[in-house]
Each structure stands twice: as C-alpha cells, then as structure tokens.
Structure 1
C-alpha cells in the first residue's frame, strides 16, 4: 500500500484540479493506496508524490490526468 500526496498552490486556485485528480486516483486505485492527501502549498506548486517519489511536477510536466494515473500505477 502507498500514500499519494497532491500538493497544490492555494493562491493559484489549483484546488479544483487537485480534487479532480484525487477523485480520479481514488476511483482507479482505491484499494491499492492507503490514502490520497491534498497538501496546501504556494508559489505555483502542483506536485504528485507516491511515497515521497515525485511522479508529476507542473514545472517540468504537462498536466494530463491519464498520464499522471499511469505514472502513479508504475510506482504502485
């Protein structure tokens, strides 16, 4: 079992994106993860981590729910 964290920038208004992604990950991996956590951040951050391994960072990756889901699956 794994922990997934979605850290998102509050001032940037990324809450909807983070909650949509959390729902997609829970729908796909609900029985394979211990938790999917939303972590508040600032300065434009939007990162997805699986057990501290960064699988998505908006600074270097294009946001795509399907691609993020594939990356999470690879870590699980």
Structure 2
C-alpha cells in the first residue's frame, strides 16, 4: 500500500499569514480526506514566505507566482498529484470555454 502524502504549508508568521494557512489546511483536509495523510503548518524563518509542498515537492510559491493561491487553484494543483481522477465538483477546472 502506498503511503499517503503530507501537504506542507510554510508561511510567514511575521506577516500574520497563519490564519490563511490554517484556512487552506482545513479546506484541503475536507476535500482530500481519503487521499492525504495530513497537512503540516510550518512557521517560516524567512520573511514573506508562503510555499506549499506535496510529498516534499514544491507546488506553489507566493513570491514566484506573484500572488497567493486561490483555494480552487490550490485544490486543482493538489488533486492533479494525489488523486488525478477525483472530481472537485464546482471547484473543478472548466472543460469548456465561456463565450
């Protein structure tokens, strides 16, 4: 049996981003109950850091992206790694373009 991945959210406590990290952790735990082992919140020693990793692989960095992830975007990134066939319902990528 494969080991379930741990999602790590490293955030800057000096920037008061703990509540944002905790909210995202709650959303991910609710969505991926069966697919992940857990979510670890890591207070960073590096100012301004907000990085998300799945199984030690970085999937999102606020500084590189120039913004915080929307929860919909984050769920899609994680789903594509931990459960590619899982439907996210209304949070899923749209399959048709809006005209």
TM-score per shorter chain, which class?
A: over 0.9
What corresponds to 1:69 in structure 2?
A: 75
- Larger RCO, structures 1/2 (Cα 8 Å, 6+ apart): 1
Whole-angstrom distance in 2 between the partners of 1:60 and 1:67: 15
What corresponds to 1:55 in structure 2?
A: 59
* TM-score normalised according to structure 2 size: 0.73
> 4+ residue stretches of structure 1 with deviation over 4 A?
none
Instruction: Report which of the two has the higher share of strand.
Output: 1
Q: Unaligned 5+ residue runs, structure 2?
A: 83-99
Q: Unaligned 5+ residue runs, structure 1?
A: none
Whole-angstrom distance in 2 between the partners of 1:74 and 1:36: 17
- What is the RMSD of the two structures over their aligned residues, measured on CA atoms? 0.9
